[in-house]
Structure 1
């Protein structure tokens, strides 16, 4: 064992010690075979919603012990890759591919109303985020050379497209990934951040009076590479955008550890590579308490206890998305093959 491997071993050993009394582990929950989940919204410790392929939406009100499943009638072939839930009866789901769709339920998933539809050629919605529940934003791949952004100020009941002339203008081979619904973060009505991938991977931040593109030190060699997810320190309305972590990599080579993460402590002006990166391609990351983060991807789950500088692998189970409760500390994961899980910590 060389000195670097020994240092990693010591770090991971010390990291898992606080978890030991609670038998730190990934506990699998009821699965939904044949469905791929990429949308996940955790309202509180007991209430979570998931969404995915085959027009599938699920809700648990008992901390994942059981789920109610709601096939979205008329949209059974659509892939709902993001979901935002506000309570036990109200949620918004977003479908990828064409036409771009956002649907909303106010009766716990029994019925869904179309609240946004985009039929333009090339439309592909990727993710959405909400601030204070009321203010929302959805992002899509570029159309006409401009990133697609639509906003809502009434809990997703109505959506308005941002005028093309003021939309961010990415490179021709640069777009977003619809991998986990976590590549955009809304910080206020006029303050948001998103990350891109492809042949160029960047972070874009808009603060109302100016915007900024910054290149990320991630692998960027093709359509399968770049940034997938953005985590901001804090939770809910108390996020601190000075401290952010981006994860991604190459999802066609999901065990490669190079170029799969970046961290910033100055609000995104500069980014650096972690000293000990995640253990492969990662499609989702979130701060769960203080400087502690969790990240997941198709090749496993990792935890960092120092703001993303060092990562330790805790599971080889693959997941697409991980989220922490908006009101609480529960952490849930969702992924392919209908897999659902909870972090015991």
Structure 2
């Protein structure tokens, strides 16, 4: 009996060994996805008809069919650092994206491939905004008053001197008017710097608010809208004088914006909230997009449709099912 059991066990071992080393065709792999609906994205940009998104872990994706399909861009260095803001020049081929650790990447093929121009291996203040000036220079701004300028198309960078009022304040965004004549840098503790000579010189504006501004947008009327933390939105008319506080029904922080063809201003912010204004930014109503994410940016790809980036991935705009305008209790800032 013991002999039979032993022979049977040996046969099983031999069969298992033969099976383990026998050639076989592996099963097909499950379809893979870049996961654009789940990754954290901080910035969206248009390069002609191409839509690009960048964010956490150094991810840069692009889509040539208005967001239906996405491809991963090729980076010369994979630093896995957070990317914060992206911009393109008028040729729609040359672009710069900036992020943490002073990371600067440059593309000359509309975002298919990117080459590293700068990275601080020892760590430093993050860069949070990038802009292309009418002169051809590039300007990057960031935390603790960091500001840099490139005069050779983004290849090399040097310190940009700004007014003393900057001190160590975070410089959250640099934005230009449609004609490129007037520019704003907005930041921490109510800081607004204005240039009226296409970015060649900057002047600090009188303070009227002591909180942080996260972004700004030029108005079609010729004025400006600035916005930031806890629902603080302000409008300045084309005469460049006083700033008037907008009506916002809840203290929602906003981070990105777009403007539809009919003039409707769309702000995106925390708690998946959208701020909508049809009176030039004087007042806003609130609606909620999908989920409860922090919405970071919005880009329109055509016919008032586009995409919203967030810390929970990308989602189409307008949302598939809009809820009724939110009350201050429903905003959940």
Normalised TM-score (structure 1): 0.68
- Structure 1 residues 231 and 120: CA distance shift in structure 2, 3 A: farther
- 1:67 corresponds to: 70
Deviations 1:16-56 (A, max 9, x none): xxxxxxxxxxxxxx952552111210234x42111111110
- 2:214 corresponds to: 228
1:113-132 alignment, distance < 5 Å = 113-117=115-119, 122-131=124-133
- 1:333 corresponds to: 308
Q: CA deviation at 1:311?
A: 0.8
Which one of the candidate residues 154, 163, 179 is aligned to 1:168? 163
Q: Distance in 1 between matches of 2:259 and 2:239?
A: 16
Q: Kindly indicate whether the alpha-carbon contact (under 8 Å) linking 1:152 and 1:159 is maintained by their aligned counterparts in 2.
A: yes
- 1:48 corresponds to: 51
Q: Kindly indicate whether the alpha-carbon contact (under 8 Å) linking 2:42 and 2:296 is maintained by their aligned counterparts in 1.
A: yes
Paired residue total:
279
- 1:261 corresponds to: 233
The SS at the match of 1:247 is strand
Q: Distance in 2 between matches of 1:101 and 1:77?
A: 10
- 1:77 corresponds to: 80
Higher relative contact order (CA 8 A, sep 6+): 1
1:48-197 alignment, distance < 5 Å = 48-70=51-73, 72=75, 74-85=77-88, 90-96=94-100, 98=101, 100-107=102-109, 109=111, 111-117=113-119, 122-131=124-133, 134-142=136-144, 147-152=146-151, 154=153, 156=154, 158-164=155-161, 167-170=162-165, 172=167, 174-177=169-172, 183-187=173-177, 191-197=182-188
Unaligned runs of 5+ in 2: 1-33, 321-333
Which structure's residues are more often helix, by fraction? 2
The SS at the match of 1:62 is coil
1:244 equivalent to 2:219? Answer no
Q: CA deviation at 1:274?
A: 0.8
Unaligned runs of 5+ in 1: 1-29, 178-182, 221-225, 235-239, 251-256
The SS at the match of 1:283 is strand
Q: Distance in 2 between matches of 1:193 and 1:152?
A: 20
Q: Kindly indicate whether the alpha-carbon contact (under 8 Å) linking 1:40 and 1:321 is maintained by their aligned counterparts in 2.
A: yes
Normalised TM-score (structure 2): 0.71
Q: Greater CA radius of gyration, 1 or 2?
A: 2
1:1-12 alignment, distance < 5 Å = none
